[in-house]
Amino acid sequence: METSADADQDPIRLKSIKNGKAFTVPHKDRLGNCRSVKEFEKFNRIGEGTYGIVYRARDTKTDEIVALKKVRMDKEKDGIPISSLREITLLLELRHPNIVELKEVVVGNHLESLFLVMGYCEQDLASLLENMQSPFSEAQVKCIILQLLKGLAYLHHNFILHRDLKVSNLLMTDKGCVKIADFGLARVYGVPLQPMTPRVVTLWYRAPELLLGSKTQTTALDMWAVGCILAELLAHKPLLPGGSEIQQLDMIVQLLGTPNENIWPGFTRLPLVGQYSLRKQPYNNLKNKFTWLSEAGLRVLNLLFMYNPQRRASAKDSLESSYFKEKPLPCEPELMPTFPHHRNKRQGPAAEGQSKRSKV
């Protein structure tokens, strides 16, 4: 397991995208060649990620509106938290239309404080879902999910697990471009797969293998979260809003039926299986829950909700689904609705922090 001490022993050299210069993050956080946060005019607080508060701000040099994410240092005595280093090093390497862009890293008034300068998106899906007067149409849902799948296919192709996908971590620009954000829990994975802590992914979006204590994590856990997001957008409410881990597991069983060795080889050997007495539920109730959804739509959901992680649909496979090729066809991102009241208010709904959904 990596620790902050490990990071101190092996300084990480990072590149500033903005000015093309390099800087080093060693034991004492000596950040050379970084601009000061004083060059940015902070407006309102627009949210809170896994590892830091996010502000809307203006770059006084370029006049560009950006998102300024303050890296939490409150519990760190010996440098930048390893979680933040992970996010920085990952994001500096990632370039995709559906991944939030890390433009540069700037320092605060004291060298102990660090800010990430991110591309600004006008809203997040969680606050939109709570404030929209009418829900997204199915064509708009398809547009959102296709963009999510494209970003995720890029991440997985580059051996990165996001591990915290949820509607509050999906941002949207005023041109309808969806971007995956908050990489504080993201990890690079390889072969052989390394053990990781199972307590990742917000509860409502957490895959059953994590709830049952699996420490081997694959891209399948992100795909389960995609299923939850798709279902949430289609149903206009969270699909599995459990209040505890045992309730979460029970809600999954009620919806999909009781897992067994036949459909999920290795299920009985998962670490926490013995701690739960799962209800006997022989039926999959997805069709009853989404009576109006086409066969292709139900097939996508069922593939995303496969109990066996090895059989769960990949992002690449899901992009080829006939669901996205049948009517109603996905609308173009440029035709997605815009929400100027979110954009123009310096003290908008998100200024108070997270939406209700992101507090789970």
Structure tokens at 201: 């992914």
Q: For residue 347, with 0-12 CB atoms within 10 Å meaning exposed, 13-18 middle and 19 or more buried, which class applies?
A: exposed
Buried b (16+ CB within 10 A) or exposed e, 174-203: eebbbbbbbbbbbbebeeeeeebebebbbb
Number of Cβ atoms within 10 Å of the Cβ of 26 = 17
Element (H, E) at 353: none
Does the annotation mark 63 as catalytic? no
End-to-end CA distance of the chain: 26
Buried b (16+ CB within 10 A) or exposed e, 150-164: bbbbbbbeeebbbbb
Q: What angle do CA 173, 177, 183 make, to 5 degrees?
A: 85
Q: For residue 144, with 0-12 CB atoms within 10 Å meaning exposed, 13-18 middle and 19 or more buried, which class applies?
A: buried
Could you say which of 29, 59, 124, 164 is catalytic? 164
CB 167 within 8 A of CB 86: no
Structure tokens at 85: 């280093």
CB 165 within 8 A of CB 226: yes
Structure tokens at 306: 């496969």
* Cis previous bond, 328, omega within 30: yes
Structure tokens at 80: 């930048």
Q: Which residues contact 231 (CB under 8 A, 6 or more apart)?
A: 239, 289, 290, 301
69 labeled part of a ligand binding site:
yes
| Binding site feature residues | 69
| Binding site feature residues for ATP | 69
Catalytic (active-site) positions: 164
